[in-house]
Amino acid sequence: MQFQAYMTLLEQDAYARDHLVPAILQSFDKRYLLLVCKNFLRFAKGRGFKELSMVGQVTGVEDTHSPFFLQRLRLQLTSGDKLTKDFMNAFFNTLNEHTTENFVIFKELKNSYSGSILRRTKTLFQVIVDMYRMLEVMTAQAPELFVDKR
């Protein structure tokens, strides 16, 4: 998903059109959290903030986000089915757990700076930032998930 040609192939494939977004939401668990976050964000935002700012300025850098899969994501998130509810529940529980764990590690950093604690802090911080970026995408694509309809 790092090149637009691959994204175009996925958008043209009938099976991917129907099953890719639900599969990404279904695969959201702690074992593959970083991979799922990265793939989710590639569909939604493309290759990354740095690369997107260079689109058209540097040869070889292309915008790889998918408006089609963003629309599919919106439809899935607003459907209100069990998959969406399970995903949202897992998403916010995981975000809460990782944020809490990172705060605990920050308190431990006052006493020691071991390499393992610093690596763990870096990984947790990366996941938390990616999850907040996912939340940004969800609020932009389906704001009615977070706003009362009345």
Residue 106 lies in a domain: yes
Residue 125 lies in a domain: yes
- Residue 54, classed as helix, strand or coil, is coil
Residue 67 lies in a domain: yes
| 1-10, 117-126, 141-150: range with highest mean pLDDT | 117-126
Q: Are 93 and 109 in contact (CB under 8 A)?
A: no
Instruction: Pick the range with the lowest mean pLDDT from 37-41, 63-67, 133-137.
Output: 63-67
Residue 18 lies in a domain: yes
Residue 82 lies in a domain: yes
The CA distances from residue 58 to 54, 55, 61, in Å, are 6, 6, 6
> Using CA atoms, how far apart are residues 53 and 45, in angstroms rounded to an integer?
11
So what's the pLDDT on residue 52?
A: 46
Residue 71 lies in a domain: yes
So what's the pLDDT on residue 54?
A: 46
% of residues, the chain, pLDDT over 90: 22
Residue 150 lies in a domain: no
Nearest alpha carbon to residue 46 among 6, 18, 12, 15? 6
Number of structural domains the chain divides into = 1
User: What's this model's pTM, rounded to 2 decimal places?
Assistant: 0.79
Query: What tens digit of pLDDT does each residue of 56-102 get?
Result: 554 555 566 788 888 998 999 999 899 999 999 999 999 999 999 98
Per the structure block, which two tokens stand in for 118? 């610093």
% of residues, the chain, pLDDT over 70: 83
So what's the pLDDT on residue 75?
A: 92
So what's the pLDDT on residue 85?
A: 92
Largest Cα–Cα separation, the chain: 55
* Domain range for 92: 4-145
